[in-house]
Structure 1
Amino acid sequence: MEKYSKFKDPLTGINPFLQPKPKPITMAVFFLAIIRFPIYILFLCGLPVVGMLIRINRKDNISPSGFIVCNSASEFDKEIIKKAFGIKQFGHFKHKTCVCFPEKTNSNNTAILSFKEPGYCDYSIGLKYSSECIYMYGNRFLWFVRFLGSFNTVDVRVTKGSSLEMATSLPKVMLGFTDKERFLTLIKQK
């Protein structure tokens, strides 16, 4: 693990690229995963069933509009935002409500990655998932079984302005997208 120490943020000591510690797969987890597998197939087909896989906890009643930034921690980010707010635009469109993910990649939901500040921003959406929703690297099948066999949650919080740290209650680290690419290259060399 010594070779991964250079991917710890010097100020906080957080490594935002490590896979969260997995829970053991029990028979109950495996059985629930089998039952929920058809729901995941419907999700892959584009049906709006993400709420059946992940419970969405809205922390406020703000309906964001305009240019919105959001942290990225899971492959479900866009679907969670669509379900929670009805927002369908991602990227940047002038004079419309749209969401941008300035980190350019996902993290393990322990910190906000470094990114170039977008300048003006109307709102920030913070997504904080239970650890079973987060896949960083490793055996995807085992992650998939744990994800489907768990009662997953995401806390969604909206703040006015561009502070993702306030919206997520997570610290911002000095590591970013290129650091994650270097980390994943190192993981593959195992």
Structure 2
Amino acid sequence: MATISTAMPRRSQFVTVMAVISIVLGIVGTAYGLLQMVVVTVLLDSDSVRSAFAEIPAESLPPFANGLIAYLPAMGWGFVLMSGAFLAASVGLLKRYEWGRLLFIVFMVVGAAANFVGVWLLAAVFDWLQSLPVSADAAYLQAELAQLRVTSLAMTSGSAVVFAALHGWIVYQLCTRAIRSEFRR
């Protein structure tokens, strides 16, 4: 007579280590986001900060700066919510819930894509900086800024590719049959 085994499949170290590291990152990210929101709330309620923003001519700012300043609190709370969701996905991954695995995969893909958006934003900031008027005394700074732009974009692009490869590998591992079998629906 055959016996039916009800034992859970062996738990991989890969998922456990990935989940624990991600839980720590989720806790740190959430705490940092909450602290950042306290600072933003205090600063934006400050009369001196409001008057300093009012003194900056709108045309001297890059196109996205006004939106960034206007939506700073919303973006901060969005960061807190994203960090909290990443923390929840990481706990779900550790507990081997299928929703945790799927949500974690979404975070890996979105995180990889976000790095490339960061490259684009960095290029936009450098474009703005190079469009600012420069006095004759500081003309040499334009050449240094151009060199800094190339170096920064190369480093940022390189790290975006490395993180995309790393995130892609993690997603691949989480989609293998052996790893998927560890998760319950």
Q: Shorter-chain TM-score: which interval? A: under 0.3
- Structure 1 or 2: more strand by fraction: 1
User: Normalising by the residue count of structure 1, what TM-score does the alignment of the two structures yield?
Assistant: 0.20
Larger radius of gyration: 2
User: Normalising by the residue count of structure 2, what TM-score does the alignment of the two structures yield?
Assistant: 0.20
